């Protein structure tokens, strides 16, 4: 019979943030959305946020650039990136925030600038 390991609660002094969300970088690229029934082609911004611990759990994961929400979120299987679409252009000098329900919230220190978006020519 194998030995059963009994887990113990980790004290606050030893607590670390290895399981929290971390944002390393993000990239922005202008894209053209396909036409819908009553809408024509339109431009939007694709965003890819890279880091770690972007978990798909019961708590919903939200990404915002300032007040603008990122739509159509997709978490990579390795939990190291999240990508989605910004339907409106965010305000200048906004921060990129990743929020996991009421469990965790991370913010990238570099603010959004319109010049960061790789535009379609």
| Cα separation, 56 vs 40, whole angstroms | 33
- Phi, psi values for residue 69, rounded to 5°: -80, 150
pLDDT in tens, 36-77: 777 788 899 999 999 988 988 888 899 999 999 999 999 999
**How many other β-carbons are positioned within 10 Å of the β-carbon of residue 59?**
13
Take residue 116 and report the two structure tokens written for it.
Answer: 């960061």
Picking from 42, 43, 61, 45, the residue whose alpha carbon sits closest to that of residue 53 is 61
Take residue 109 and report the two structure tokens written for it.
Answer: 């220190």
What strand order describes the sheet that includes 71-75?
A: 71-75, 81-86, 42-52, 22-33, 117-118
Tracing tokens 């978006």 back to the chain, one arrives at: 117
pTM to 2 decimal places: 0.82
| Cα separation, 30 vs 119, whole angstroms | 5
Pick the CATH number of 19-118 from 3.90.76.10, 2.60.40.10, 1.10.3720.10, 1.10.1270.20: 2.60.40.10
pLDDT in tens, 80-121: 999 999 999 999 999 999 998 888 899 999 999 999 999 988
45 with 85: CB under 8 angstroms? yes
């Amino acid at each position: 019979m194998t030995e059963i390991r009994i887990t113990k609660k980790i004290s606050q002094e030893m607590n670390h943030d290895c399981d929290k969300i971390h944002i390393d970088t993000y990239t922005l690229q202008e894209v053209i959305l396909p036409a819908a029934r009553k809408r024509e082609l339109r431009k939007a911004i694709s965003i890819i946020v890279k880091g770690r611990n972007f978990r798909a759990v019961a708590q919903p994961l939200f990404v915002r650039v300032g007040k603008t929400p990122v739509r159509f979120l997709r978490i990579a299987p390795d939990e190291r990136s999240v990508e989605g679409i910004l339907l409106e252009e965010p305000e200048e000098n906004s921060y990129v925030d990743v929020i996991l329900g009421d469990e965790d919230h991370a913010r990238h220190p570099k603010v959004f600038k319109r010049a960061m978006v790789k535009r379609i020519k």
